[in-house]
Homo-oligomer: A and B are copies of this chain.
Amino acid sequence: MDPDLSRLAAAVEEHGADGYLFDGHDDSDQYYVCGFDAPDPFLALYDGADVHLLVSGLEYGRAEKESRAATVARLGEYDYQERAARDGPKEARLDVIAAFLADHGVGAALVPGSFPTGTADGLRERDLGVAVERSDVITEIRSVKTDEEIDHVRAAQRANEAALRRAEELIANAEIRDGILYRDDEPLTSEFVKREIEIELLRNGCALDETIVAGGADAADPHDRGSGPLSADEPIVVDIFPRDKESKYHADMTRTFLRGEPSEEVRERYDATLEAQEAALDAVAAGVTGKAVHDAVCDVYEDAGYPTLRSDPSTEVGYIHGTGHGIGLDVHEQPTLNPTGEELQAGQIVTVEPGLYDPEFGGIRIEDLVVVTEDGCENLTDYEKRLVLD
C-alpha cells in the first residue's frame, strides 16, 4: 500500500519546514508513513516526496526489506559507536540525527505533538528548527482507507466473529444453577470467557489487549471489562476489538446475550437498541455528518422514552456515549459519530454501536463495523443479532 501523503507535503511547506520527522516506534502515524516498526525508537523523515529511515544495525535488514522507505541508513554509517564511546549514547544519537538531517537538506523539521522533547531540544541545541504540527494531518489522511486496508479490517472482523462464536457457545451451553451459569461444575466467569476469546483470536492470527465480557450491573458502565461469575436472566455484553498481528489493523464488534428469561424491560431495551442501530446504519453515507448519524440514534431512544446525553447532558443512565468511531491501525481513530462528528467520506470505516445502560437493568449494546460508501455503507460484520440463547 502506498499512502497518498500529498496533504502532509502541503503541511510541511505551509510551515516553512524541510520535512516531517518521527522519532518513535509503536506509533500508528509513523507506521502508516513508513510501513515499518521496530521494538525501539527509530527515525523516519518524510521530505515531501520520499521516506528516509535511520535505524540501528540490528534493524537494518528488516527495514530494507519491509519498509516503504526510499533509503535506509544505519547509525553506524555516521560513526555512532565512536561518538557514543566518546560522548555517551544520547549526545551521539543527537549528533548522528543532525548529520542525517544535514545529508537530506533538512534545516527545519515539522514533528508530531508526541515527538520526544529530548530529541527536539537536542536538535534545537544543534541549530535545527523543530516545530509541532497541531492539525493532526496524518490522522486525517489515515481516516480514509484504501481497498487493501479495508481488506485487512475485513479479515480481522472474520477472526472476531470466530471469537464471538466461541463466547456465545460457552454462554449458550452453560448450565444454570441458582441463577448462576456453570461449566464443568465451576461457575462460568467473565475471565474464563475472555481467555477463551483470546485463544480463539490467537488461532486466527489476532491478538488483543483488553476485551469486555460484562454481565448485570458491571455492564451498566460501558467501560467496565467485567469480572466474576456470569448470571442467568441478565444481559451479558461481549465486546471484542482485536488486532491482526500481521497487518496490524483492528476489528470491533459487540453483541449482547442472555441465558434464561429476560424481563420485559430488558426485551424492550434490546429492541430499542436494535431499532436505534438500524436507524444509524440507514443514515451513514458519504456527505452525512457523524453528528447526523448520532442524532438518528438519539431520536429513536428519546422517542422510546430513554434519556440520552442530548436530552439530558448530566444523565448517568440511558444512552451515555457516542455512536461510533473510526478504526484502522488504532482501535479508536477518526472520524467520530458523536455530537461534534463532521462529514463522513467514502472509504472511512466506522463502528455503529448504540447502547442503553442502567444499574437496575444492566447494559445492552449492539455494534457493527461498516465502510462508508457514496450512497450508504457496506457492513463488514456477519453475525446475527439475538438476545436470548436457548
Chain A interface residues (CB < 8 Å from chain B): 39, 58, 90, 111-121, 130, 132, 134, 195, 198-199, 202-203, 207, 210, 223
Which B residues are in CB contact (< 8 Å) with A90? 113, 134
Q: Which residue of the partner chain B has the closest CB to A132? A: B118
Which residues of the partner chain B approach A130 to less than 8 Å between Cβ atoms? 117
Report the nearest B residue to A26, measured CB to CB: B26
Most buried by B among A114, A116, A117, A195: A117
- Which residues on the B side are within 8 Å of A113 (C-beta)? 90, 116-119
Enumerate chain B residues within 8 angstroms of A198, measured Cβ to Cβ: 202
Complex Cα spacing A123 to B180, Å: 53
Residues of B within 8 A of A116 (CB): 113-117
> Nearest-CB distance from A209 to chain B (Å)?
8
List, in ascending order, chain B residues with CB within 8 A of A39's CB: 210
Instruction: Write 30 A-B pairs (CB below 8 A) sorted by A numbering.
Output: A39-B210, A58-B223, A90-B113, A90-B134, A112-B118, A113-B116, A113-B118, A114-B116, A114-B117, A114-B118, A115-B116, A115-B117, A115-B118, A116-B116, A116-B117, A117-B117, A117-B120, A117-B130, A118-B132, A118-B134, A120-B120, A120-B121, A195-B202, A195-B203, A198-B202, A199-B199, A199-B202, A199-B203, A202-B202, A207-B207
Nearest residue, chain B, Cβ from A210: B39
CA of A117 to CA of B203, assembled, Å: 40
Report the bound CA distance from A169 to B132 in whole Å. 53
Measured in the bound complex, the distance between the Cα atoms of B195 and A203 in whole Å is 7
Report the copy number of this chain in the oligomer. 2
Chain B residue with Cβ nearest A245:
B209
Cα of A118 to Cα of B115 in the assembled complex, Å = 7
Q: A90-B113, A198-B202 are known; give 12 further A-B pairs, CB within 8 A.
A: A90-B134, A111-B117, A113-B118, A114-B118, A115-B116, A116-B116, A117-B117, A118-B134, A120-B120, A195-B203, A202-B202, A207-B207
* The 9 residue pairs across chains A and B that have the minimum distance between CB atoms: A113-B118, A117-B120, A115-B117, A118-B132, A114-B116, A117-B117, A199-B199, A198-B202, A117-B132
B residues within 8 A CB of A115? Answer: 116-118
When distances are taken between beta carbons in the complex, the residues of chain B under 8 Å from A120 are 117, 120-121
User: Which B residue sits closest to A199, measured CB to CB?
Assistant: B199
Please, how many angstroms separate the alpha-carbon atoms of A90 and B133 in the complex?
12
Across-interface contacts of A134 in B (CB, < 8 A): 90, 118
Name, among A112, A114, A199, the residue most crowded by chain B CB atoms within 10 Å (CB to CB).
A114
Query: How close is A332's CB to chain B, nearest CB, in angstroms?
Result: 8
> A207 — which chain B residues lie within 8 A by C-beta?
207
Q: Which residues of B contact A202 (CB under 8 A)?
A: 195, 198-199, 202
Q: How far is the CB of A81 from chain B (nearest CB, A)?
A: 10
In the complex, chain B residues whose CB is within 8 Å of the CB of A203: 195, 199
The CA of A130 and the CA of B124, in the complex, are separated in Å by: 14
Closest-by-CB residue of B relative to A118 is: B113
A324 to B378, CA, bound (A): 52
A314 to chain B, nearest CB (A): 12
- Give chain B nearest CB distance to A69 CB in angstroms: 20
- Minimum distance in angstroms from A290 CB to a CB of chain B: 16
Nearest CB on B from A74, distance (A): 15
A96 CB to nearest chain B CB (Å): 16
Q: How far is the CB of A132 from chain B (nearest CB, A)?
A: 5
- What distance in Å separates the Cβ of A316 from its nearest Cβ neighbour in chain B? 12
Q: How far is the CA of A239 from the CA of B232 in the complex (A)?
A: 43
Return the chain B residue nearest A88 by Cβ. B134
How far apart are the CA atoms of A113 and B115 in the complex, in Å?
A: 10
For A132, what are the chain B residues with a Cβ–Cβ distance below 8 Å? 117-118, 121
